[in-house]
């Protein structure tokens, strides 16, 4: 479903807006509804990629949470998050490229995976990388503040 399609303009958007404002009395339900509507919209392209975006968001959430709960693990958490996100992006964008080049260089005949690029993977991946980097920088700033306070006291 494209933003300019009739299904989006005349069905999905009006129903989502109506339901969102109908749930105004309970903001937490409103937010949950928007998440569900967003996932529905994303899965309209290919329902198989619903698992991918859900996995990506869950791993990044758990990584950020671990980083916040244990500041001494902030850097390893950041590195894990970067490796996960960029690995996912690299696989979906460059799997065919690397396999075909390996076949060419090594004179082999590995089958190309023909991975279909998920909708918006670069966008949501770099948004999550940005989130993890911002979180790491804030944690470093807090640590420097604590060191300054300790040195000044």
- Tens digits of per-residue pLDDT, 50-65? 999 999 999 999 999 9
The pLDDT assigned to 141 comes to 86
Boundaries of every domain in the chain = 1-45, 46-152
- Does the pTM surpass 0.85? The reply is no
Judge whether residue 144 has pLDDT over 90.
no
The closest alpha carbon to 54, from 136, 135, 128, belongs to 128
pLDDT in tens, 87-113: 999 999 999 999 999 999 999 999 988
Residue 146's pLDDT band, with cuts at 50, 70 and 90, is confident
Residue 75: its pLDDT value, please? 94
CA 93 to chain centre: 15
pLDDT the model gives residue 150: 80
Find the helix packing angle between 74-106 and 121-152, rounded to 10°. 140
């Amino acid at each position: 479903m494209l933003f300019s399609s009739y299904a989006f303009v005349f069905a999905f958007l009006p129903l989502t807006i109506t339901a969102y404002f109908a749930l105004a009395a309970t903001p937490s339900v409103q937010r949950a509804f928007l998440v569900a509507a967003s996932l529905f919209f994303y899965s309209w392209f290919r329902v198989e990629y619903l698992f991918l975006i859900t996995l990506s968001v869950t791993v990044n959430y758990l990584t950020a949470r671990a980083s916040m709960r244990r500041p001494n693990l902030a850097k390893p958490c950041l590195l894990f998050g970067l490796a996960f996100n960029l690995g996912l992006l690299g696989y979906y964008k460059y799997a065919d490229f690397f396999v075909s080049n390996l076949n060419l260089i090594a004179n082999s005949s590995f089958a190309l995976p023909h991975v279909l690029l998920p909708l918006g993977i670069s966008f949501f991946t770099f948004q999550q990388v940005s989130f993890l980097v911002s979180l790491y920088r804030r944690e470093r700033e807090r640590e420097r503040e604590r060191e300054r306070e300790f040195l000044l006291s």
